[in-house]
Structure 1
Amino acid sequence: MLNAEDIKTWLKKIGRDRAWLAEKTLVSKRTVDNWLSAGKPIVPQKMELIEKLMSGEEEIEFELPPDFEKQLRAMADEAKKTIEDMVSHILQVTAKAHQKRKAEAVHKQFTPVKTFTAPPLEAQGQIIGNIAAGNLADGDTIPQDIRLYRELEKGEYLLRVNGHSMEPSIPDGSVVIMKKYTIPPIPKPGTIVQYHDERGVTLKKLVCRKNPETGKMEYTLHPINPAFGDIEP
């Protein structure tokens, strides 16, 4: 069983430092320092990867996009995983794909993986239509199948956002998961809602403000983007 001293000896022998090992195992240098100096345990997935590196097996090369950390955090949030769990999941999926390619290319020249491999999508969903993020407007109802990282819960449905009034939180073209609202009759202020009347449909934040003329509290449909105005429901 490998230990920290074995890994430190190996790094010295091959002329590599801890920063290199951190890059190869997709963790921070601080994590590697914890493994090798503070005696923190190495998770099995990372230990397996280190063993492969030490045995001289072909390395899997990653060309990560500039905003990889942001994408990874969003993927982890959507999958309800920690970033470390998501990284481990990606490593497992990539390693399996790598081994499959090796098996299929016994008589071919090996080509290292050069692109980031996202984890597989796990659930099937359907976008049931579009919703305006601007003024009230008609939305289409052309369904579109989409793959998701989780199953939709009871009462949830998908809409694609058209418009810029909810940016930067919800960019134009985003797919939003909506949930049917029944009790109590009106959502609490601050909730992002799908509102519709005879004028059309729109995605807005529901707020409650005092009418300066009547002194009464009234509901308003408020955009996140300050370039757009409120809509009176």
Structure 2
Amino acid sequence: MVQTRSASGVDVPATPSGRPRSSGNAAPSTRKATGSVRSRKYSAGPNGRASARRPSSSSSSVSLSSSSFASASWVYVPDTVTLLWMAISLPLVIWDTGYVLLRPLTMPGGSLHWPIWSPYALYGEVDHIYGFKAWNAGNGFTAAQGVLNLIETTLYLAYVYVWWTRGQPVVAGGRKGLVGRPAAWAVTLVLSSAVMTLSKTVLYWLNEYFSGFDNIGQNDIYALIFLWIIPNGLWLVFPTYMVYRIGSEVIDVLASTADHFKDE
């Protein structure tokens, strides 16, 4: 057996590999551990928003039902108000767009007017931009906003499709959520659509203001409030909510990502 002599003069048996064993305590390693990364996770909170969570035994985050969700850095879950508003507004906007783009067939006396678009006989008198006044004058604003309606509705439907087909329940029996690229696509689609809806509605109101209320000035106060201000005001309130809600969530995620890199 090969033996080696240590610095203290004591013979030390060699290891099977031929390397001498140390006779003293091993010196502390001076090598630094590499590859350790502190990450901030996000999970869907009870209100549907993605929330930051750090690993903790006492974490109150919602338990994720999928391993892909459990390891995800961000989970997007649409909130109840957004889904309800889209369920109500999308059929109405599709109905409205059909009326606008199929004029004059959808107007009173047209072959498509009854029964689907018969309510526009009244609304065309409340808002002349939808009536014969604008049509006979060749006013293109009505059709232009109808085309924008078509584009934004397509974006909303694409958002619903991505969420419904690619989403998985965040918790057992819970609402579907998205992670990764599908989540990024869904948020991009719905935020872009909401900004588009809000901008178009603001333009619609400003058009009346700067034209001296040429299309709605004939109404009494009752008709103006209940047949124009309230119905059209809904398309200001809810898109504003969506822009604020979803935009805030995106900002939170991006800011937390920046903080993570600062901590490295």
Q: Same fold (TM over 0.5)?
A: no
The structure with more strand, counted as a fraction of residues: 1
Choose 1 or 2 for highest CA Rg.
2
Normalised by the shorter chain, which TM-score bucket?
A: under 0.3
Higher helix share: 2
> Highest relative contact order (Cα 8 Å, sep 6+), 1 or 2?
2
Q: TM-score under structure 2 normalisation?
A: 0.21
TM-score, normalization by structure 1 = 0.23
